[in-house]
A and B are shown apart, each in its own frame.
Chain A
Amino acid sequence: MSITKLIQVENLTKQYENEEVVTKILHGLTFDIEKGEFVSIMGPSGSGKSTLMHILGFLDKLSTGVFSFEGRDVSQLNDDELADMRSKKIGFVFQAFNLLNRASALENVMLPMLYTDATKKERTNRAKELLTQVGLEHRMEHSPSQLSGGEKQRVAIARALVNNPQVIFADEPTGNLDSKSGLQVMKILQDLNEEGNTIILVTHEKYTAEHAKRILKIRDGLIVDDSLVTQRQLAGLNGELTK
């Protein structure tokens, strides 16, 4: 028996029907992602990369084809089971951070644990541990408006990690950041990957995509290239590039 792949996608399509107008977004994608990979899904806007991420992130449903996660057919899951998968299996990092402005950094990181069985103490300890890991131990009680863009995104990364997910989805995580903070964020993602986390990065920039180990290029709803990165960009601790 072969080892089960983390994500298996076969001939996946997605179309939206709106008042009898059918818009096809994805035209049949086939690929696998294994545990521990760092994959960029790269394509121009309108290519369908966001739709693909939503499907892989259990936020949207595919139209035809197969998507299995840890060998489990995702199309068979109902809304509550999908919510459960989002809660336990994945973590999201968004371009716009999506932090709760009225809550502290600590509370923001704890948010996903509100929907698990974790006790308040477990939540607090776990969130503190993660904020320390992303270098924000001195910012725990700050609200997002008191944080810089890079710090916000690091809070968001801590939030994505809080439930020990199998995959972290990062949707243009550096899109709203200056290049230095962007590199710091990429450095954290690369370190997380080194520690064994699976990371899927969605971006339209070749440069950002090259921080990953493998790039899936999408155009007009089709995979046009799937190859390993030969000239990988490595982010340094202080935001400098180290080849």
Chain B
Amino acid sequence: MDFLESIHNSWKIINRSKARSFLTMLGITIGVMAVIIVMSVGAGAQSLILNQVKSMGSNLIGVLPGASEDDGPPASALGVVVTTLTYDDGKEILDKGCDCIESLTMYVSGNDSITRDDTSVNTTFTGTTASYIDVEDAAVEFGRFFSEEEEKGVAHVVVLGNEVKESLFGDQNPIGLRLRIKKINFTIIGVMEKRGVSGFQNQDDQVFVPISTAQKLLLGIDYVSLIRAKVDTAEHVEQAMDSVENILRDRHDIATGEADDFSVRSMAQGLEALSMITNALKFFLVAVSSIALVVGGFGIMNIMLATVQERTREIGLRKAVGAKSSHITMQFLIESVVITFLGGGIGILLGIFISIVVAQVAQAMGYEWDLVITISSILLGCGVSIGIGLLFGISPARRASKLNAIEALRYE
């Protein structure tokens, strides 16, 4: 009897008790399906996040207050307030730093309600510089952004994010109108173009004020929480980072051998850290969904043990007519592998189907979602289901092969 014939015979036996075989398969089907979906949706979500960050530009560098390890997040990113970075630091970097730094902007921000007459919305106000438009590659839809004079001169002007404009003014043109932030009057001079969600933040749900105004009138601080610089080409990023570090160490009087009190980061580093985090998440999810596979495996083992028990006489007979122990082992092993392979195959198909649905829905909702189904995840699904059949089938099969033929024939 050759291998194909054994598979055919197992198929016939599985077909005999369809309901039981189906329920046995279900565990493996769900497990494999979960792994395929998690791998595909995980990769899709990862590409979505990375694409969004990439769209912010690969030639940006950021300077954050507070020291950090190379791979870890800086203290300020974890919400600790560090006050070592100032407006003058930023200006000096632009003046004396590497020529490759094209432009530079700085940020402070806070949250408060913004009031127009008796309507108010709670939103983020960002204090920044006139060069924001250039560095962030943003644009105003109508009106104008504030000037360098306004940036330095504590001007009471505000530029609205698109969403804030919508919710406060609707279709009305707000240019020249007034609104209040923290009971201070501001004149609206512009409205930003719609930018969408980028880097975990809704760019349209904020208002922009000159940095000096935000520092002195709204927040009462004299430091900045982020400096962002635009480098002319991606190749010059390293050089630019070095020059920023030198200038700041000098300005902050940091002796040789002492650690920086600030952190310089490039988008490339950020992307790397982000991929590491998202990868870890993805593998964690795969590991969790693999639990279903293990549970399914024990289900197979349970059923195969019951099958062996049920077919004791058959095993005894097969031995009496000349089957070797190895024949019996193979018979039951092939049977459990056929079940798991079938279950796994169905799981792969369902997993692919659901991944496609998820991608379609995400794309319909306007996300940049890539449908990622790799050959390797399909092969992994096949391999895992065969492996589980072998792993969890071996013990029932060996039990069958060790049955004593005489006792087995007498078994009732």
Q: Which residues of A contact B (CB under 8 A)?
A: 54, 57, 59-60, 79-80, 83-84, 86-88, 91-92, 94, 98, 100, 102, 111-112, 114-116, 120, 159, 163
Contacts and interface: CB of A to CB of B under 8 A. Distances in A.
A83 B5 CA distance: 21
A115 B321 contact: yes
B322 A86 contact: yes
Contacts of B406: 54, 59-60
B325 A87 contact: no
A102 B325 CA distance: 22
Interface in B308-352: 313-314, 316-327
B242 to A, nearest CB: 75
Contacts of B405: 59
Given A98-B313, A100-B314, A102-B16, A83 B409 contact: no
Interface in B356-393: none
B96 to A, nearest CB: 87
B320 A59 contact: yes
B1 interface: yes
A111 B319 CA distance: 11
Given A59-B406, A98-B313, A120-B5, A111 B321 contact: yes
Given A54-B406, A114-B1, A100 B317 contact: yes
B19 to A, nearest CB: 16
Contact of B1 (A92, A94, A115): A115
B322 A159 contact: no
Given A59-B320, A98-B409, A114-B327, 14 more contacts: A54-B406, A59-B319, A80-B326, A87-B322, A88-B322, A98-B316, A98-B317, A111-B317, A111-B318, A112-B321, A112-B322, A114-B1, A115-B1, A115-B318
A60 B319 CA distance: 12
Interface string B1-20: 10001000000010010000
B321 A159 contact: yes
Nearest to B323: A115
14 contacts: A57-B320, A59-B320, A80-B324, A83-B323, A83-B325, A86-B322, A94-B409, A98-B320, A100-B314, A111-B317, A111-B321, A114-B1, A114-B327, A115-B323
A31 to B, nearest CB: 22
Given A87-B322, A98-B313, A115 B327 contact: yes
Interface in B53-85: none
A54 B5 CA distance: 31
Interface string B389-412: 000000000000000011001000
A54 B325 CA distance: 18
Nearest to A92: B320
A5 to B, nearest CB: 23
A56 to B, nearest CB: 13
B68 to A, nearest CB: 68
A116 B325 contact: no
Contacts of B5: 120
Contacts of B314: 100
A173 to B, nearest CB: 15
A86 B317 contact: no
B409 A87 contact: no
Given A94-B409, A102-B16, A115-B327, A87 B321 contact: yes
B322 A163 contact: yes
A114 B322 CA distance: 9
A179 to B, nearest CB: 25
B320 A115 contact: no
Contacts of A79: 324-325
A112 B323 CA distance: 8
A118 to B, nearest CB: 9
A54 B406 CA distance: 8
A120 B324 CA distance: 19
Contacts of A159: 321
A78 to B, nearest CB: 10
Contact of B321 (A54, A80, A86): A86
A80 B325 contact: yes
A127 B54 CA distance: 72
